[in-house]
C-alpha cells in the first residue's frame, strides 16, 4: 500500500466481542479514494436491505481520510456512516476536532462496528492494541463527564474520545456522537451507538502518516496555505466562524415560527458582533489554520455564567427562530446542554419549535407539557424541553422520535407541522428564499442536510462566480448537482465543508495533495475527482432505492410549497418542488418519474453492481 493510508481496518463485533484487523482493498482505494467513498461502498456492500437501524446488523463505520493526521489544512475530520434510525436510509455525519487524526496515529483508516454488546462497553484502541472495556459505570453520564472518566480510567488525559450522552442511550432519533464538544450530530448516530451498548470509542496513537512523495506533498500544502491566506473570506471566517444570522435574516430566510416567518424579531441580538463580545477564546481542529471555533461565555442575565464551544450558526438559529425570540444567552446555554446530553442542535431546536406550533394550535396543551407554556417569544421552557427530549420524559418521549414520526403519532394535523425531508429536520435556511439551498435539502440522500451541497453562491457569491437569482427555480438543478458532487469528492479527503463553501480550496490543489500523499496518479485528475463525486452521490441513492426510496421521498412538507413567506425580502416566494426536481433529475441522468439513477448512468459511473 502507498502513502496516506494506514492500510488497516478494525472490525469489531460487539455481540461476539471479537476484534479483527483487515487490510484495505487496493481496488476500493482506487475506486473510492476514502472517507465518504469508503463509507457508502462498504455500507452498500455489507448491509442487507431492511436492516433494523437499531439492530445487531446495522454497522457503524468510523473513518478518517487519507490526508488526516498530516499537515494539510482542514482535512483531519472523521466521518461516521450507518443506516439512520431517523430516515431509514443511508447516513453520513462528520466532525472536526482531534479524533480523526488520532485514528490515523493509531494506525487505522477505519473502525467498523457491528453487533450489540450484552452490557454497556467502550472500545479502547491503544496504538495497535484493542480492548472492549466495561462501561456500565459510564452509562447515564453526560458527554463531558464521560470524557473525563475514561481519560482517568486509562490514565492518559490525551486519549481522544467519541461518545454518546444520555440521549443516545435512550435512542433519541437525533442523538449524536461527541468528541470534546464537537459533534457528528445528525441522523441519530448516537442512537445507533446506544443501541449497540457502545458508550464510546477511545483512541491513543503514537504513529504517523507516511507520504508517497514528501516533497510534492509539502509543495501542495504550501499552495493550499497560500490559497487560504489569499482568500478574502479567510480573516472574516477565522474571526467569526459561522456567525451569519444577520445575513440570513437580511435575506428574509431565517426560519421563524417553524418556517412560517422569515425574520426573527430582534435578530440584531444575534449578530456576529454580539457573539464576538462573548468570545473568550478561539478554538481549532487538528491541523487547521482557520481556528474558526470559539469559546463563548455569557456574563449577565438569566444565563449568566453559561458557556459553550460555539455556538455555530445552525445552533444560534435552532434556539431562536423556532421559538421566535432572540436571547443570545439561551443560544449559549442550550448549545452546551445539547453537547452534554448528546443531542443534535438542529433537530432538537426544530422539534421544540414543532411543539410550540402544536401548542399554539391547541393540538397539545399544558397537560401534555407538564405545565410548560410553549408560547412564541417565551424561551423559558427551552432548556427544560431539551432535558425532556434527552431523557424521553413526558412530551420529550414522542419528540425524541423526530418531527416526522412525532407528527404521525400525535395526528390531528401535527403531521403537517414537521419541517423535514426523509425524516431529517431542515436546517436554518428557508428553501423558499434560496432555491438551490432548497433543492439540495430536498434531494440529498440523508435528508435535509445543508452540508451535502451547500449553495454559497446564493448567499455569499462564492465559491465560483455563478450567475444566480436565489428565487428562480430555473438553473438550480445544475448548480445543485455541482455543489453536491464537488462536496462528495472533497469529502473523500475528508475536507471540512466550510472550506469549499468559502471557495477556499480548488479541486486541483486537492488533487495534488491526494497525489502527494498516496502516489495514485488518477487522484490528481479533476475529471476523475468529479466522477468519484458523482459516483458517491449515485451509490448513496441506490442504497436508499434498495430500501424503497424514490421521488416520493424527495419532498418538502406542503407548507414550503403551498404557503409563501409572509413578509420581508423573501416575501411571496414558494418552493416549486416538481419543476425543480424534474430539472435536477434530468441534470443527474436519473429517471424523472422515479428519481432513480438509470442503468446507463450507473454503468457510466462503474456502478453496474447496483443495477437491479
Interatomic CA distance for residues 130 and 241, integer angstroms: 37
| Binding flag, residue 140, its own copies (CB under 8 A) | yes
Q: What is the DSSP string of 562-596?
A: HS---SSTTTT----HHHHHHHHHHHHTB-TTT--
- Per CB under 8 A, 305 contacts its own copies: yes
Query: Is 243 within 8 Å of 311 (Cβ atoms)?
Result: no
Residue length of the chain: 612
Instruction: Determine, following the binding rule CB under 8 A, whether residue 145 of this chain makes contact with its own copies.
Output: yes
Smallest distance, its own copies to C-beta of residue 225, A = 20
CB of 94 within 8 A of CB of 493?
no
Dist CA 122 CA 592 (whole Å) = 46
Using the rule CB under 8 A, is 153 a contact of its own copies? yes
CA atoms within 13 A on the CB side of 553: 21
Say how far apart CA 38 and CA 513 lie, in whole Å.
Answer: 18
Size of the site for its own copies (CB under 8 A): 25
Cα–chain center distance at 145: 23
Buried/exposed 195-212: b ≥16 CB within 10 Å, e otherwise: bbbbbbbbbbbeeebebb
Contact by Cβ (8 Å): 353, 256: no
Q: Assess 363 for contact with its own copies (CB under 8 A).
A: no
**478 interacts with its own copies by CB under 8 A:** no
Query: Does 300 help bind its own copies (rule: CB under 8 A)?
Result: no
The residue among 218 and 304 lying less far from its own copies, judged by its C-beta, is: 304
289 binds its own copies (CB under 8 A): no
149 binds its own copies (CB under 8 A): yes
Letters for 307-336 (x = contact with its own copies by CB under 8 A, - = none) are x-----------------------------
Q: Which of residues 203-232 bind its own copies (CB under 8 A)?
A: none
- Considering only CA atoms, which of 214, 552, 558 is closest in space to residue 415? 558
Nearer to its own copies, 97 or 176 (CB): 97
For position 268 contacting its own copies by CB under 8 A, the verdict is no
Grid cell for residue 60? 457503524
Task: Cell numbers for 33, please give them.
Answer: 479514494
Of 153 and 274, nearer to its own copies (C-beta) is 153
Contact between 297 and its own copies (CB under 8 A)?
A: yes
| Binding status of residue 304 toward its own copies by CB under 8 A | yes
How many Cβ atoms sit within 10 Å of the Cβ of residue 155?
A: 7
Q: What is the dihedral of CA 321, 323, 325, 331, to 10 degrees?
A: -70
Does residue 561 bind its own copies (CB under 8 A)? no
Q: The dihedral of CA 23, 26, 28, 34: what is its sign?
A: positive
Nearer to its own copies, 383 or 455 (CB): 383
Question: Does residue 397 touch its own copies according to CB under 8 A?
Answer: no
Interatomic CA distance for residues 458 and 226, integer angstroms: 26
Shortest spacing between CB 298 and its own copies, in angstroms:
9
277 binds its own copies (CB under 8 A): no
Q: Which is nearer to its own copies, 76 or 258 (CB)?
A: 76
Least Å distance between CB 604 and its own copies? Answer: 47
DSSP assignments along 148-172, one per residue: HHHHHHHT-TT-EEEE--HHHHTT-
Tell me whether residue 144 or residue 368 sits nearer to its own copies (CB atom): 144
Least Å distance between CB 281 and its own copies?
5
Distance CA 294, CA 284 (A): 8
Which of 116, 250, 295, 574 lies at the binding interface for its own copies (CB under 8 A)?
295
SS3 433: helix
* 148 is an interface residue for its own copies by CB under 8 A: yes
Q: Least distance (Å) from its own copies to the CB of residue 147?
A: 8
SS3 content of the chain, % helix, strand, coil (to 5): 45, 15, 45
Residues 227-256 that bind its own copies (CB under 8 A): none
Q: Which stretch binds its own copies (CB under 8 A): 255-263, 293-301, 463-471, 596-604?
A: 293-301
**Where does this chain touch its own copies (CB under 8 A) — which range of 122-130, 292-300, 375-383, 479-487?**
292-300
166 touches its own copies by CB under 8 A: yes
Q: Does 141 bind its own copies (CB under 8 A)?
A: yes
Footprint of its own copies (CB under 8 A)? 136-137, 140-141, 144-145, 148-149, 151-153, 156-158, 166, 180, 280-281, 283, 295, 297, 299, 304-305, 307
Amino acid at each position: 500500500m502507498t502513502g496516506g493510508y494506514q492500510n488497516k481496518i478494525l472490525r469489531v463485533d460487539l455481540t461476539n466481542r471479537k476484534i479483527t484487523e483487515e487490510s484495505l482493498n487496493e481496488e476500493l482505494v482506487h475506486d473510492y479514494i476514502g472517507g465518504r467513498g469508503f463509507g457508502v461502498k462498504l455500507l452498500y456492500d455489507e448491509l442487507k436491505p431492511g436492516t433494523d437501524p437499531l439492530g445487531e446488523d446495522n454497522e457503524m463505520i468510523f473513518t478518517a481520510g487519507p490526508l488526516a493526521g498530516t499537515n494539510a489544512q482542514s482535512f483531519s475530520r472523521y466521518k461516521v456512516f450507518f443506516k439512520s434510525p431517523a430516515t431509514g436510509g443511508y447516513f453520513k455525519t462528520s466532525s472536526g476536532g482531534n479524533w480523526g487524526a488520532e485514528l490515523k496515529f493509531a494506525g487505522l483508516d477505519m473502525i467498523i462496528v457491528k453487533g450489540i454488546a450484552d452490557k454497556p462497553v467502550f472500545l479502547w484502541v491503544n496504538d495497535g492494541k484493542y480492548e472492549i472495556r466495561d462501561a456500565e459505570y459510564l452509562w447515564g453520564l453526560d458527554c463531558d463527564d464521560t470524557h473525563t472518566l475514561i481519560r482517568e480510567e486509562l490514565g492518559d488525559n490525551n486519549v481522544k474520545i467519541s461518545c454518546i450522552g444520555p440521549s443516545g442511550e435512550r435512542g433519541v432519533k437525533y442523538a449524536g456522537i461527541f468528541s470534546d464538544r464537537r459533534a457528528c450530530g445528525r441522523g441519530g448516530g448516537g442512537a445507533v451507538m446506544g443501541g449497540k451498548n457502545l458508550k464510546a470509542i477511545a483512541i491513543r496513537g503514537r504513529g504517523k502518516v507516511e507520504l508517497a512523495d514528501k516533497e510534492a506533498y509539502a509543495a501542495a500544502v504550501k499552495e493550499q496555505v497560500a490559497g487560504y491566506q489569499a482568500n478574502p473570506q479567510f480573516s472574516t471566517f477565522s474571526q467569526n466562524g459561522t456567525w451569519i444570522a444577520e445575513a440570513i435574516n437580511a435575506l428574509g430566510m431565517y426560519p421563524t415560527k417553524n418556517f412560517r416567518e422569515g425574520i426573527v424579531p430582534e435578530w440584531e441580538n444575534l449578530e456576529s458582533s454580539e457573539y464576538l463580545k462573548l468570545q473568550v477564546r478561539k478554538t481549532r481542529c487538528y491541523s487547521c489554520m482557520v481556528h474558526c471555533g470559539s469559546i463563548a461565555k455569557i456574563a449577565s442575565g438569566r444565563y449568566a455564567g453559561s458557556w459553550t464551544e460555539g455556538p455555530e450558526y445552525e445552533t444560534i438559529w435552532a434556539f431562536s427562530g423556532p421559538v421566535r425570540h432572540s436571547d443570545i444567552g439561551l443560544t449559549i446555554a442550550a448549545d452546551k446542554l445539547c453537547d452534554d446530553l448528546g443531542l443534535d442542535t438542529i433537530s432538537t431546536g426544530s422539534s421544540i419549535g414543532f411543539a410550540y406550533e402544536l401548542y399554539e394550535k391547541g393540538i397539545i396543551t399544558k397537560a401534555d407539557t407538564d405545565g410548560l407554556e410553549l408560547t412564541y417569544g417565551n424561551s423559558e421552557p427551552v432548556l427544560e424541553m431539551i432535558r425532556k427530549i434527552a431523557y424521553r420524559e413526558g412530551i420529550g418521549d414522542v419528540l425524541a422520535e423526530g418531527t416526522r414520526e412525532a407528527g404521525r403519532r400525535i395526528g390531528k394535523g401535527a403531521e403537517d407541522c414537521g419541517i423535514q425531508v426523509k425524516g431529517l429536520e431542515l436546517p436554518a435556511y428557508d428553501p423558499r428564499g434560496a432555491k438551490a439551498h432548497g433543492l439540495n435539502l430536498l434531494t440529498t440522500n440523508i435528508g435535509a442536510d445543508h452540508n451535502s451541497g451547500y449553495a454559497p453562491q446564493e448567499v455569499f457569491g462564492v465559491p465560483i462566480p455563478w450567475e444566480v437569482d436565489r428565487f428562480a427555480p430555473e438553473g438550480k438543478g445544475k448548480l445543485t448537482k455541482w455543489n453536491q458532487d464537488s462536496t462528495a469528492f472533497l469529502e473523500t479527503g475528508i475536507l471540512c465543508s466550510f472550506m469549499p463553501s468559502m471557495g477556499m480550496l480548488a479541486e486541483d490543489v486537492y488533487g495534488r495533495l491526494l497525489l502527494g500523499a498516496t502516489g495514485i496518479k488518477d487522484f490528481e485528475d479533476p475529471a476523475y475527482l468529479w466522477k468519484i463525486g458523482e459516483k458517491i452521490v449515485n451509490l448513496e441513492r441506490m442504497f436508499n432505492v434498495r430500501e424503497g426510496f424514490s421521488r416520493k421521498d424527495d419532498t418538502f412538507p406542503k407548507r414550503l410549497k403551498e404557503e409563501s413567506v409572509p413578509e420581508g425580502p423573501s416575501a411571496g416566494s414558494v418552493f416549486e418542488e416538481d419543476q425543480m426536481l424534474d430539472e435536477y433529475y434530468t441534470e443527474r441522468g436519473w429517471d424523472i418519474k422515479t428519481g432513480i439513477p438509470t442503468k446507463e448512468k450507473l454503468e457510466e459511473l462503474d456502478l453496474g453492481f447496483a443495477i437491479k
